[in-house]
Amino acid sequence: MKKIILLAVFTILLVLPSFAGTIDISGRAGIYTPTQAGASPSLMYGVGAECSITPNLSARAAVETTTYSANNVQYTYTPITVDLIYHQTFAQMITPYFGAGVSYNSRSVGGVSSQTTGAQAETGLKFALGGFSSGVEIRYIVPDLNNMNSGSTTYNGYATGSFAQSFHF
């Protein structure tokens, strides 16, 4: 499964732009709600790259990370995600969307690392303001497909334009 995810990331970042023309890179930050008992929500941050496939469909790859404690044990969670996202733009500035995808997850618990394959679904709103855009998003993440009860939620914000770059091919 790791090879499939790496192939998907490679395709999104290197092959699809030749068909679509633009990759938008954005900074991402949000609140991650862990499922471990005694854990408090923590800051999850990272970077994402989105490529248009059609006027209403895009592919996004993202790398994010968070660190938190639960019952005096340190956790670090880093998902690498690939999503297909359907969106519709209204009045050339408001874009609601929803999507789903797969992830390769690295988790360190008390210094012991493990890797899993997961999935996620998201919905959000993106706002275009001239050359700058920002958005809010809610994602439900299942970091281990072998344990479907391990799901958690993130509430994200992101921005493109002010500290991001679009690449035209």
Read off φ and ψ for residue 17, nearest 5 degrees. -60, -30
pLDDT per residue over 96-121, tens digit each?
999 999 999 999 998 899 999 999 99
Instruction: Pinpoint the alpha helices (H) of 111-164.
Output: none
* Total number of domains in the chain: 1
Cut 0.85: pTM above it: no
Contact status, residue 68 vs residue 38, Cβ threshold 8 Å: no
Answer whether residue 57 is part of any domain: yes
Nearest to 77 by CA among 31, 109, 40: 109
Answer whether residue 158 is part of any domain: yes
Contact status, residue 59 vs residue 50, Cβ threshold 8 Å: yes
Alpha carbons 66 and 158: distance in angstroms, whole number: 16
pLDDT per residue over 115-147, tens digit each?
999 999 999 999 887 777 888 889 898 888 888
Contact status, residue 143 vs residue 153, Cβ threshold 8 Å: no
Answer whether residue 138 is part of any domain: yes
Answer whether residue 169 is part of any domain: no
CA 62 vs. chain centroid, Å, equals: 5
| Enclosing domain of residue 75 | 2-164
> Which CA distances in Å does 113 have to 76, 93, 120, 157?
9, 42, 21, 28
Answer whether residue 55 is part of any domain: yes
Answer whether residue 16 is part of any domain: yes
Alpha carbons 129 and 91: distance in angstroms, whole number: 12
Residue 86 belongs to domain with CATH number: 2.40.160.20
